[in-house]
Structure 1
Amino acid sequence: MEKSDKIYEATSIHSDKESIVDLLADRPEQGSSFLAYANVVCVVAGTGTLGLPYALKMGGWIGVGILLLSLIMSVYTAILLMRCLYYNGKYRLSSYQEIGRHAFGRVGLVAVWFFHTSIVLGAPIMYLILAGTEMKSLITGADISTTVWIWICAAVVAVPFVLMKTLKEVAVMSVFGALATVILVIVAVRGSIVDMNNPAYANVHHDNVIWANLPTTVASISICFGGNVVYIHVEEAMRHPKSWNRVVAAALGTCCVLYLATAIPGYITYGNLAESPILSNLPKDAFTKVGTVVIIIHVILAAPILLTSFALEFERLTDVTVARRGKIMERVYRTLIRLAVVGICGGIACTVPYFDNFLSLLGALGNCTLIFILPILCYFKLIGWRQMKWYELIWCAIIVIIGAVSAVIGSVDAIKALKVSFETDHNK
């Protein structure tokens, strides 16, 4: 395909036709829609799949409806976000941060940068912690500490992160990451079915709605579709960016199917005894060990995708391009930057106490803000709300309210967890 970008002049989400103007642009790395689909599935589905039975335990069967509602909201805001990239009809903005700057000036730029960075760096750090911990428990015969395993996993993550420049190249790995998620779901469903006749779970009970836990349930489920941090770079690497709406709808729909396939059998079998992750409930057999291996594989494959999203932004900011630095020095600078990023993530994963709670706090604020609130606010600011029908405005208001409630409740829970951690450590 020629080097071209699609500038969307029709900015209404409900337009029957999109008016498109061709504009020459530099899109050097162009991948298929399938690779973009795999990228989104790999990042979004993640290890959160295994926490859904526990989410139903917290809120009851209403969680299934919340999950479906979150899917619809996430697809809608993902499309709005991409519209913001092309809002002026002349050129494509380069990042989520640029959208924030064009919409709300320096305040918008700083806010988006903070939340975006906390997720694209925070999630890989948690992935390294998870992978290192699981490796320690899986390989019991070797006298290797969790810290060493974390550094080993960081080294593995560094290889594709350093060698592969863009998300088009990293997307090849995401295909395997998406397949790993499917295998993980199969393991969870198989274990849930096997345990249906287990006497230990004969007397579990199920609730339709647990009103006291409903806000927490909404908060935990609503952030299961958090892929906005990579969407813009995924779309940028697509050969046919006009297909974005179909790609994101298919990818998030696939994630929802995986969520439902894990959540419903898991909650039916384990009910009020469901744990997070659900692997803790599953039979302690070879299949569960396979599930543990698959978790490790998945997080190691997903981490480079998020890190690449961060690196592309940082390299743009520091002007690390072939045109500016030359082919050889661009490679040198890029390699040094990315090795430093992996080193920082590995160091934090090994040394910072309570980081999981801090990340939960940033994740609740960041994910809900980036997924539900900012896309709508930026769309209103850049494109306008007057062309929307009244029911669309009501729908947008509902999404913003749910996003705000999820952010507040999730943040309160994380702060409580931090308080418990500090008190426990202080009393030792």
Structure 2
Amino acid sequence: MSNSYNVEKIESQSQHAQSHESPPTKGTTFIRTCFNGVNTLSGVGILSVPYALSKSGWLGLLVLVFVALLCFYTGLLLRRCMDSDPRIKSYPDIGQVAYGGKGRVMVSTFLYLELFFVAVEFLIMEGDNLHKLFPTENFDVFGIKFGGKQGFILMTGLVVLPTTWLKSLGVLAYVSAGGVMASVILVLAVLWGGTFDGIGFHERGELWNWSGLPTAISLFTFCYCGHAVFPTLCNSMKDKSQFPKVLVVCFILSTVSYGSMAIFGYLMFGEHLKSQVTLNLPTKNISSKIAICTTLINPITKYALIVSPIATAVEETFPFRESKSMSCLVRTCLVISTVLVALVVPYFGYVMAFIGAFLSITVSILLPCLCYLKIVIGFKKFRAEIMIILIILLIGTLVAVVGTYTALTDIIKEVQPK
């Protein structure tokens, strides 16, 4: 089996899944690339930025901007790595050029883990918001009774299962390309609820909270985990020299969106914010129903795109990789595994903090710096930049360790019987 060919094929699908739309064509314009980039960065993280701000306090907005600048800079580092070798077409290619086959495997592993847990987050989100709409609903499956939230997670798994059997995800990719519009609608619905539906903006919050900082940074980093797609976006452009400008536009628009949602949510609900701002909204209001329904639709359309690269990677290890029945079996087992994880750890905020600390910081901050040091600075000595990157690596590692420990501690406390 040709490992290089298989991984390139898998990673191509991975990038399409994370960008939430169909594969980019050659000669993409600047405007379209900006749209693709914003679509990549606009995800489920927007639901949790108010919660993250409530953890850190108002100065957390500065942390959000700092994380955005840091991820923007590491995006530029990936671009420079690509400039050093014309063979580089994807993020795993960068890992291979930097550290050989082990580098490719390392990058791919973190990308697949991130995709798996994002799929788990989709299921948890569906369970939370459906339970919000139908709080008294219970389920009885083969004599086993499930609470509303767990039952809705199971139901969502059954709904998305057939979509994962589709080998061609072009239609799903086209449908899920409305991610940017969905984020805009969500922000406007929350703003409308606070302005016209009687919720108001009366909470003052607190200025700073050191204890909640690790969780806040982890959640903020999750919001900017689009680095796996950046090489694809760059290669798709007519004029690749404009890619840094694309990153500027994407990060500014995304930060404005995230910052607006964080401010609106914190002013509306203060310290009472839940892991998803939609869970705080009163369901009697039309604006709340719009916000929740917008939240519910996106994960269902995107789930298959997210898990497809993982399924393909598993299928390539089997001798009967062309068998449709084997493919369906692999994808069914994958859906079951994500459902089980979502049932065992149904804590949206804590799971997102874990993804942000352990996976997103690694993929979006640590790996770009490590690859850049090896590929570019390996033969060009820039002492000032080396010091900056080493400081970023030190801070990133510290935040990743503390954030992962905090998230796992919070999850363990919730899982343990009280």
Letter in 2 for 1:146: F
Within 1, Cα distance between the matches of 2:60 and 2:323? 44
Matches within 5 A, 1:30-69: 30=26, 32-33=28-29, 34-69=31-66
Pairwise CA distance, 1:371? 0.4
- Tell me the equivalent position of 2:164: 158
Instruction: Tell me if the contact between 2:221 and 2:360 (Cα under 8 Å) persists in the aligned partners.
Output: no
On the 8 A contact 1:119/1:229 being kept in 2, the answer is: no
Q: Is the 8 A contact 1:216 1:406 kept in 2?
A: no
C-alpha distance in 2, partners of 1:319/1:87? 35
State the TM-score, normalizing by the size of structure 2. 0.76
- Residue 417 of structure 1 corresponds to 410
Is the Cα contact below 8 Å between 2:126 and 2:152 reproduced in 1? no
Aligned to 2:114: 119
Tell me the amino acid that sits aligned with residue 354 of structure 1.
Answer: V
Equivalent residues of 1:35, 1:171 under 8 A apart = no
1:77–1:375 CA contact under 8 A, matched in 2: yes
Q: How big is the shift at 1:61?
A: 1.5
Moved more, 208-217 or 60-69: 208-217
Aligned residues: 379
For residues 173-252 of structure 1, what are the structure 2 equivalents within 5 Å? Answer: 173-194=175-196, 202=202, 204-238=203-237, 240-252=239-251
Counterpart of 1:306 in structure 2 is 306
Instruction: Determine which of 348, 359, 372 is the counterpart of 2:337.
Output: 348
For residues 198 and 414 of structure 2, what CA distance do their matches in structure 1 show?
Answer: 35
Query: How much does 1:367 deviate?
Result: 0.7
Matches within 5 A, 1:55-134: 55-88=52-85, 91-134=86-129
Quote how far apart the aligned CAs of 1:108 are.
2.5
Residue 265 of structure 1 aligns with which residue? 264
Deviations 1:282-329 (A, max 9, x none): 3331211111110122223443443455567778x7799xxxxxxxx9
Shift of 1:252: 2.4
Pick one of 374, 397, 410 that aligns with 1:404: 397
5+ residue gaps, structure 1 = 1-26, 321-328
The structural deviation recorded for 1:390 is 5.2
Deviation at 1:194, TM superposition (A): 4.2
Distance 1:70 1:338, change over 3 A: farther
Taking the aligned partners of 1:280 and 1:366, their CA distance within structure 2 comes to 26
| CA apart distance, 1:141 | 9.8
Query: Counterpart of 1:228 in 2: which secondary structure?
Result: coil
Q: Which amino acid aligns with 2:281?
A: L
Structure 1 residues 28-61: Cα deviation after superposition (integer angstroms, max 9, x where no partner): 9437344543443334221211212222221111
Report if the CA contact (8 A) 1:43-1:302 is conserved.
no
TM-score normalised over the length of structure 1: 0.75
Distance, in Å, in 2 between the alignment partners of 1:273 and 1:68 is: 24
Q: Which runs of 5+ in 2 are unaligned?
A: 1-22, 140-150
Report the counterpart of residue 383 of structure 1 in structure 2: 376
- Equivalent pair of 1:100/1:108 in contact (CA under 8 Å): yes
- Quote the Cα distance in structure 2 between the aligned partners of 1:247 and 1:314: 34
- The range that moved more, 411-420 or 177-186, is 411-420
User: What RMSD in Å do the two structures reach over aligned CA positions?
Assistant: 3.6
CA displacement, residues 244-278 of structure 1 (integer Å, 9 cap, x when unaligned): 32333322222111111111122223222333211
Alignment deviations for residues 343-368 of structure 1 (CA, whole Å, 9 cap, x no partner): 23321232232276667535421110
For 1:153 and 1:37, locate their aligned partners in 2 and report how far apart those are by CA, in whole Å: 32
- Letter aligned with residue 258 of structure 1: S
Mark the CA change 1:257 to 1:296 in structure 2 (over 3 Å): closer, same or farther: same
Among all aligned residue pairs of Structure 1 and Structure 2, give the percentage whose two residues are the same amino acid: 24
CA apart distance, 1:404:
1.7
Distance 1:388 1:288, change over 3 A: farther
Verify the 8 A CA contact 2:113 2:359 in the aligned structure 1: yes
Is the 1:53–1:278 Cα contact (8 Å) retained in structure 2?
yes
Amino acid at match of 2:273: A
Structure 1 residue 81, shift from structure 2 partner:
1.2
SS of alignment partner, residue 229 of structure 2 = helix
